[in-house]
Structure 1
Amino acid sequence: MKHLAILGAGGHGRVVAESAAATGWRISFFDDARTGRVDGHLVAGSASDLKGAATGYDGILVAIGTNRTRLNWIKCLRSSGATIVTVIDPSSKVSASAVVGAGTYLASGSMVGTGARLGEGCIVNTAATVDHDCDLADGVHLSPGVHLSGNVTIGEASWLGTGCSVRNDIVIGRDVVAGVGSAIVSDVANDQTVVGVPARPMGRL
């Protein structure tokens, strides 16, 4: 059985572990705040311990919700010789023509459509959908129930809150935050926080 190290044993890490175990991985956690066992899986050490042990695992998945932190850890661990892997829950649906980058997690009930491209270290959370020909840069996080229509482009490290919906052909910049339930029907510039129906930048509601 292949051995997966998961960096982060909090809520997101535990969800990742369930999906990984269901696809045949043996799990060990690394976490700065927890010891012993979490959901039956050994906490083998701290985050810094994993840097020294990276080559001892068949794969590593960084299960940290903060997008830039997740990307930084992927870069750090890869430089230590780690094999960064993708975890795809057995219940998710991924088109044969989609491209999913290393370190990305696809959660239960998620869908990635025809011709979609996902970068490294993305999270497509529970029941989120990515329709045809969408392009997600590294570190994008789609929270539960987010729905992207076709041909949506999202820049690096952007985060869409639970239940967001995005119209087709929209371009969302890097480091964008979209509030829970937002309906994005026009392009969003870099570093914006948008909320509402339709979504507008904070301070301009």
Structure 2
Amino acid sequence: MYLLGGNGHCKVVVDLLKKVSSITIESIFDDQPKFKDIAGIPVYKTNSLDFFRNKELIISIGNNHVRKRIASQIEANYLSAIHPSAILASDVVIGQGTVVLAGAIINPSVCIGKHCIVNTGAVVEHDCVLGDFVHVSPNASLAGNVTIGEGTHLGIGACVIQGVKVGQWVTVGAGAVILNDVPDFAVIVGNPGKIIKYNSIENG
């Protein structure tokens, strides 16, 4: 398989994949490579996205908006990957291209979309629904029955109480505590969470 994106998030994905014996990474590609290799895997400059057509691929880029743009341009065989130390209930649904990192806990009846990141130590409680291209940062926690819209980024250590609906392309600041529904494109910070501005549609 191949990885597209060769920076910090890629390093974490490589470490995950090296712990999954059934997966071998052939090489890593990046538009502007900063490294010759990552953990011994060669990094090459991306010349054409057509190269990835029908190949096994994970987009190893942390930026939600960039992952969506690339996924819309490449018809690849997108793989999902789950760290061996993550704990997932038996009925959890994980979309293609999604990665679940070390120590994450995902409880029953959760549905996670395509190309998401459930980062280190994140908790997703029962009956949550996450749209495509969502990033749940390290140690962020979602209580039961939370809905997260497409492209939303929950910052490190953020908390969302039960039953809350967070819209699309929302930015939730680090450590924020979300007690009420959040509209699309909002940027919300603090405890309790307060909206301070709105993201543009173009930038997600």
TM-score of the superposition, structure 1-length normalised? 0.90
Figure out how many residues of one structure are paired with residues of the other and give that number: 194
Q: Which runs of 5+ in 2 are unaligned?
A: 198-204
Q: Which residue of 1 aligns with 2:104?
A: 110
Cα deviation 1:175-199 (Å, max 9, x = unaligned)? 1001110000111001100000000
1:174 counterpart letter in structure 2: Q
Separation in 2, partners of 1:100, 1:161: 21
Q: Where is the helix percentage greater, Structure 1 or Structure 2?
A: 1
- Once the two structures are TM-superposed, the CA of residue 55 in structure 1 deviates from its matched residue by 4.4
Q: Which residue of 1 aligns with 2:4?
A: 7
Aligned residues of 1:74 and 1:103 also touching (Cα < 8 A): no
Separation in 2, partners of 1:93, 1:145: 14
Structure 1 residue runs of 4 or more that deviate by more than 2 Å after TM superposition: none
Q: Cα RMSD between the aligned structures?
A: 1.3
1:187 counterpart letter in structure 2: D
Q: Which residue of 1 aligns with 2:138?
A: 144
Matches for 1:1-205 after TM superposition, within 5 Å: 4-24=1-21, 25-27=23-25, 28-34=27-33, 36-46=36-46, 48-49=47-48, 51-55=49-53, 57=55, 59-78=56-75, 82-202=76-196
- Once the two structures are TM-superposed, the CA of residue 44 in structure 1 deviates from its matched residue by 3.6
Moved more, 36-45 or 166-175: 36-45
| SS class of match (1:202) | strand
- Once the two structures are TM-superposed, the CA of residue 162 in structure 1 deviates from its matched residue by 0.3
Aligned residues of 2:165 and 2:182 also touching (Cα < 8 A): yes
Separation in 1, partners of 2:6, 2:60: 8
Separation in 1, partners of 2:66, 2:53: 21
| SS class of match (1:73) | helix
Q: Which residue of 1 aligns with 2:201?
A: none
Separation in 2, partners of 1:56, 1:172: 34
- Once the two structures are TM-superposed, the CA of residue 56 in structure 1 deviates from its matched residue by 7.0
1:11 counterpart letter in structure 2: G
1:30 counterpart letter in structure 2: F
State percent identity of aligned pairs.
Answer: 34
TM-score of the superposition, structure 2-length normalised? 0.91
Separation in 2, partners of 1:12, 1:104: 13
2:5 counterpart letter in structure 1: G
